Structure 1
Amino acid sequence: MEPSPFRWRDPAAIEPREWLYGHHLIRKYVSATIAPGGVGKSTLTITDAVAMASGKPLLGLKPHGALRVWLWNGEDPRDEIERRVIATCLHHDIDPDEIAGKLFIDSGRQLPIKIGELQNGKITIATPVVDALVEAIRDLGVDVLIIDPFVSVHSLPENDNGAMDAAVKAFALVADRTGCAIDLVHHSRKLNGVDADIDAARGGSAIAGAVRAARVLNVMSGEVAKTFAIAESDRRSYVRVDDAKANLAPPSAARWFKLSGEPLGNATSDRPEDFVAVAEAWTPPDKLEGIGADELLAVQKAVHEQCYREHFKANEWAGHAVGRVLGLNSRADPGQQKIKNAIKAWIASGALVIDTAKDSKGNLRPIIEVGEWADAS
């Protein structure tokens, strides 16, 4: 064995990293998608697969061209996977010809993959399975392999770091030998209301350590839903995607997607049509949407030198004056929340400021006063 000496190369001549889908999937590496159950992992990855096969940014990420994608689902039968892919195509107006020959789907019920197991108490990686994956990926020219979920492709103890490291590295070997990118979809542990992060991946920490990029999914919290005036009954349809680990690229800002139901129109005489969950990109609304400089100036005139209180529970809350100007209900959501958002944004911009004034009992109380006057038309 002889160490290899380092030789300087012109950095401009070095090939850039081969990212295929945002900063999540890169050739020759394994990535992970981590989330609690029922959040929408499979719906997201199916939409990702259709996006990459069609070359279209269905969820805001631009694929690096139209890619060949192999989606393997270890839990659902093939006909259910077909329903979900077709519903995604219908929802996003994808013509079947756009993904023909570029999207491959398989169910673990018909095509089981078992890359690792314990044999006589020893961690064993199934070399024939690794070789078969390499051969299939090469034969089809697959760019991206999605394994959903990771737990379905091994029977190793999840809490054993050595076992998990061996299983992930077996997929890393597949990625390296074929030049494809691999996404392992993995469950988080039970979080009891706490947001998932990279450390929330179920089982040994080696799973998070062995991948080069990871993202986590979290349902919108009740507090965040209030700021966007989204009803409690609807908030679970909104899911945030965060870069949890970005060893090869700067972490990206959080993205959101929304879960919707797409009808298939397949009703029969004795069964209703299927509605299938699909994912669509969602951008948080501007908290000052529909409120311009003219409205701000009217609000400033209404609160100027009136000693309106800063706290929303006060009888003389400034928000009541804002509500009258903007035609919003200041005593109940969603109007009250929009007013709170507007006041907070105006304070941050300096259009309004928090001052103090004495109340009827001579006590100093925080009030809202004009800061920098708006330059309205």
Structure 2
Amino acid sequence: MGDDRGGARTPINIVRDYLPADSAKAAALWLCERLGTRPEDIGWKGGEQANSDGARDALTAQTASASERKRIRATPFVYRDPSLIPPREWVYGRHLIRRFLSTTVAPGAVGKSSLVLVEAIAMVTGRALLGVMPVRCMRVWYVNLEDPLEETERRVAAICLHYGIDARELEGRLFLDSGRTAEIIIATRQRDGVKIAEPVIEDVIASMAENEIDHLAIDPFVSSHRVTENANDEIDIVAKAWNRVAEAGNASIELVHHVRKGQAGQGEYTVDDGRGAGALLAAARSARVLNLMSKDQAEKAGLPTNRGFFRVDNGKANLAPPPDKSDWFQLVSVSLGNGPPNFYDCGDQVAVVKPWEWPDPFEGVGTDELRDAQAEVAGCTAAGARFRLNLQSPEWVGIPIARALKLNHEDKAHRSKINRMLKVWIETGMFAVVQGKDAKGNNRDFVEVGKHASDAGE
């Protein structure tokens, strides 16, 4: 009964490994006691093993369920030198990390699929297409579970055209699939609860290993399961299944997710606005959210429209940097040139994501312009005027500054430019904020000239 049977571990082997059993006999008796079975019933007489394969198989069958899982044990902590602990394996920026889930949450038609694809191609080519330098050329698998494969191919072609990439650079390292031809549904809800599709998971992991995949993108997450979207316990099972794929596949996984329906027009989105239960967010190592540029932001940036511009923030919006410090992107249209002969404009137009930077407030503004602004404010102050810090005030200090710089203080883009410059000038001492009382005796913040530009060595 204690024989290894050609290398296969029996219940006896397991008991001897994990419990103080000196012999196969002691282990067998321990098992019989725990199972409530007499030794005689399974072919044992007087504690000796009967010469019966059937007896051995009977005990094995009765203890199979106990041997199917590893016994849970508390693992003692053993300190090791921090310098010897392997660093986190970041795959792309500080969003994608090997063996973990990441999520991207956004409303429809913002540009999340294009963003994820451009990032995929950046990883494959090792180029900083969006300002993030990949650690090396990688192998990426992008699966769009909604669109046909041809649509993804159009997007890849447009990205290559826009960024001047030879498509041959992608061959062998970029993998594309569509849910229309090969569904990847890793969990379904059945009468007795959620059932994980183990064969599907095994296939995904095997394909990742076979192709040495570094990063897998699933777009969208909702199409990778058939469970109740608002049930935290069910989504938690699905998220943990994807985490298991990331661990076994030794790759980072991005789950592209939609925001809840009915959220439009209710302000900016946060990562908490993802559709359904919050268990997905809890399971993700990193989460980011996409927000369209508002009309007010477009006016401040001096843009004719807000369409095609969006911001990406990691974590919650209330912890995000101000708009001019966020990561901004723009969707540009790229023609594939695949229309009929002599009808070039009839071909496909495909949106591609590219980086966009908030306008530099100091573009065209140097030391001479600063001196002009200081002179204008100082002259008015000498004549008895007082200027407020609050840009909503009719006495805002930005009004004389605008006059000196030949800007229109009523134009939102110009007001934004002046206000941002003024913050820097105050920080550097070119202007000073002083406390004072207005005509009604209320305490207010006023602005005066600080160090003159010439005195500051500008």
Common fold: TM-score over 0.5: yes
In 1: Cα distance, 2:368 partner to 2:288 partner: 42
1:322 aligns with 2:401: yes
Query: Which of the numbers 282, 286, 295 marks the counterpart of 2:369?
Result: 295
Paired residue for 1:12? Answer: 83
Measured after TM superposition, the shift of residue 145 of structure 1 is 0.5
Structure 2, unmatched stretches of 5+, are 1-70
Kept after mapping to 2: 8 A contact 1:309/1:365: no
Query: Which of the numbers 181, 189, 203 marks the counterpart of 1:110?
Result: 181
Distance 1:266 1:304, change over 3 A: same
1:281 aligns with 2:360: no
Measured after TM superposition, the shift of residue 219 of structure 1 is 1.5
1:279 is matched by which residue type in structure 2? V
> Per-residue CA shift, 1:47-106, capped at 9, x if unaligned?
111111111111122212111000000111111110101101111111212222100111
Measured after TM superposition, the shift of residue 321 of structure 1 is 3.2
In 1: Cα distance, 2:234 partner to 2:442 partner: 66
Q: What is the correspondence of 1:253-264 to structure 2 with a 5 Å cutoff?
A: 254-264=326-336
In 2: Cα distance, 1:47 partner to 1:302 partner: 48
Percent sequence identity over aligned pairs: 41
1:148 aligns with 2:222: no
In 2: Cα distance, 1:113 partner to 1:363 partner: 66
Q: What is the correspondence of 1:352-363 to structure 2 with a 5 Å cutoff?
A: 352-354=431-433
1:70 aligns with 2:144: no
1:206 is matched by which residue type in structure 2? A
Measured after TM superposition, the shift of residue 142 of structure 1 is 0.9
Query: Which of the numbers 188, 197, 201 marks the counterpart of 2:259?
Result: 188
Paired residue for 2:281? Answer: 208
Distance 1:294 1:103, change over 3 A: same
2:267 is matched by which residue type in structure 1? V
Distance 1:319 1:123, change over 3 A: same
Aligned positions, number: 370
Kept after mapping to 1: 8 A contact 2:300/2:415: no
TM-score relative to the length of structure 2: 0.74
Distance 1:251 1:228, change over 3 A: closer
In 2: Cα distance, 1:205 partner to 1:60 partner: 31
Higher relative contact order (CA 8 A, sep 6+): 1
Paired residue for 1:166? Answer: 237
In 2: Cα distance, 1:339 partner to 1:251 partner: 23
Measured after TM superposition, the shift of residue 108 of structure 1 is 0.7
Paired residue for 1:219? Answer: 292
Paired residue for 2:411? Answer: 332
Kept after mapping to 2: 8 A contact 1:208/1:214: yes
Q: What is the correspondence of 1:231-250 to structure 2 with a 5 Å cutoff?
A: 231=304, 233=305, 235-244=306-315
1:85 aligns with 2:156: yes
1:346 aligns with 2:425: yes
1:282 is matched by which residue type in structure 2? W
User: Would you tell me which structure has more strand in proportion to its own residues?
Assistant: 1
Return 317-326 or 283-292, whichever deviates more. Answer: 317-326
> Per-residue CA shift, 1:347-367, capped at 9, x if unaligned?
3443223555877x9999875
In 1: Cα distance, 2:117 partner to 2:298 partner: 26
1:94 is matched by which residue type in structure 2? I
Kept after mapping to 1: 8 A contact 2:300/2:414: no
Measured after TM superposition, the shift of residue 334 of structure 1 is 3.4
Paired residue for 1:132? Answer: 203
User: Would you tell me which structure has more helix in proportion to its own residues?
Assistant: 2
Q: Give the number of the structure whose alpha-carbon radius of gyration is greater.
A: 2
Kept after mapping to 1: 8 A contact 2:300/2:412: no
Query: Which of the numbers 106, 124, 127 marks the counterpart of 1:56?
Result: 127
Kept after mapping to 2: 8 A contact 1:267/1:274: yes
In 2: Cα distance, 1:204 partner to 1:364 partner: 48
Kept after mapping to 1: 8 A contact 2:387/2:448: no
TM-score relative to the length of structure 1: 0.89
Measured after TM superposition, the shift of residue 276 of structure 1 is 0.8
Return 18-27 or 363-372, whichever deviates more. Answer: 363-372
Kept after mapping to 2: 8 A contact 1:228/1:287: no
Measured after TM superposition, the shift of residue 286 of structure 1 is 2.1
